[in-house]
């Protein structure tokens, strides 16, 4: 009987730790037909050194359907900006992950643009709190009122 009680306690602790771990990496869903996405400016290359003076830095923003493409194999490019903010307008119902890629056009060779990996909103390494955005259309108004 004592062994059974110890096993139950151990299992209880495992369940508690697992639930706390899943809570710690919980993802938020933000509901809106427009969402203002912001990020920190990229100021260095992958080796940690600053960009050459005159290099042009821009960001490309992507959306991917979180339900039909959770592995992000077919992201859709929604825009490019030199700012560290972008207003997403969601015209189609669904749940989406948002991604941002850095583009660096070289001052010494304007025909060469280097790109980073895409940082995704559901990646804990890229977003302090992983998130997705979702949009749903409101129902039509009733008709035939009497």
End-to-end, the C-alpha distance of the chain in Å comes to 70
In a domain, 41, yes or no: yes
Q: What integer best gives the mean pLDDT of the chain?
A: 86
Please give the pLDDT value at position 62. 98
Q: Domain containing 39 — which CATH number?
A: 2.60.40.10
Compute the average pLDDT of residues 26-30. 88
Q: What is the DSSP letter of 62?
A: E
Q: What is the pLDDT of residue 54?
A: 93
Q: Which of the pair, 100 or 19, is modelled with greater confidence?
A: 100
Please, what sign has the CA dihedral across residues 8, 14, 20, 22?
A: negative
Predicted confidence band of residue 133 (pLDDT cuts 50, 70, 90): very high
Give the total number of structural domains in the chain: 1
Place of tokens 């991917």: 64
Listed in sequence order, the residues at least 6 apart from 112 whose beta carbon sits closer than 8 Å to its beta carbon are: 105, 106
The answer for 31, left when phi > 0, alpha when psi is -120 to 50, beta otherwise, is beta
Q: Could you tell me which residues are beta bridge partners of residue 38?
A: 85
CB atoms near residue 75 (< 10 Å): 20
Q: How far apart are CA 60 and CA 21, in angstroms?
A: 32
Task: Say what the pTM is.
Answer: 0.77
The confidence score (pLDDT) of residue 113 equals 96
Confidence at residue 45, expressed as pLDDT on a 0 to 100 scale: 95
> For residue 68, what are the domain limits?
28-135
Is residue 1 predicted with pLDDT exceeding 70? Answer: no
Residue 15, in any domain of the structure = no
Percent of the chain with pLDDT over 70: 83
Report the C-alpha gap between 120 and 47 in whole angstroms: 21
């Amino acid at each position: 009987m004592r062994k059974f009680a110890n096993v139950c306690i151990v299992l209880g602790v495992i369940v508690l730790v697992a639930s706390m771990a899943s809570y710690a990496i919980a993802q938020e869903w933000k509901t809106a037909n427009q969402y203002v996405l912001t990020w920190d400016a990229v100021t260095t290359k992958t080796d940690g050194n600053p960009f050459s003076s005159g290099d042009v830095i821009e960001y490309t923003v992507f959306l991917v359907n979180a339900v039909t493409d959770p592995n992000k194999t077919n992201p859709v490019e929604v825009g490019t900006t030199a700012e560290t903010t972008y207003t997403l307008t969601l015209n189609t119902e669904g749940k989406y992950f948002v991604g941002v890629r850095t583009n660096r056009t070289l001052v010494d060779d304007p025909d060469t643009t280097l790109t980073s990996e895409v940082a995704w909103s559901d990646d804990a390494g890229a977003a302090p709190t992983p998130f997705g955005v979702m949009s749903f259309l409101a129902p039509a108004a009733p008709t035939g009122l009497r």
